[in-house]
Amino acid sequence: MFGRLLLQLLRGSRGRLAVALVAVMSCGAVTSALINLDLDIGRKLTREFRTLGANLVISSRQNSQTAEPGVPTATSGASLSLIDESAVLPAVERERTPDVVAAAPYLYVVARAMNTPVVVAGTWLDQARNLEPTWKLEGGWVGSREDNEHCLVGRNVARQLGLAPGEHLEFTYLARSAQLTVAGVVDAGGTEDNQVFVSLPVAQNLAGLRGKIELVQLSVSGTSAGISLYAAQLANALPDFDVRPIRQVTEAEGRLLGRTQLLIVSMIVLILVLTALCVLATMAALAVERREDVGLMKALGGSISRIVALFLAEVGVLGAVGGFIGCLAGVGLSEWMGERVFGTSITPRWETFPVTIGLMVAVAMAGALPLRLLGKVKPAVILRGE
Give the DSSP per-residue string, 256-275: HHHHHHHHHHHHHHHHHHHH
Most confident of 43-47, 51-55, 279-283: 279-283
Q: What percent of the chain is modeled with pLDDT above 90?
A: 24
The DSSP letter of residue 190 is: S
In this prediction, residue 186 has a pLDDT band, given cuts at 50, 70 and 90, of very high
Q: Which whole number is the average pLDDT over 147-158?
A: 93
Q: Which pLDDT score is estimated for 75? A: 39
Answer yes or no: is pLDDT of 223 > 80.
no
pLDDT reading at 40 higher than 50: yes
Nearest to 247 by CA among 277, 224, 278, 270: 224
Task: Decide which of 170 and 221 is more confident.
Answer: 170
Is residue 32 pLDDT above 50, yes or no?
yes
Length of the chain: 386
**Is residue 144 predicted with pLDDT exceeding 90?**
no
Quote the pTM value: 0.60
Cα gap 54→104, rounded to integer Å: 10
Inter-residue contact 99 to 279 (CB < 8 Å) = no
What's the pLDDT at 47? 60
Pairwise pLDDT comparison (302 vs 57), residue with the higher score:
57
Distance CA 173, CA 248 (A): 34
Question: How confident is the model at residue 76, as a pLDDT?
Answer: 40
Identify which of 43-47, 135-139, 256-260 has the greatest average pLDDT. Answer: 135-139
Measured distance CA(25)–CA(9) in Å, rounded = 20
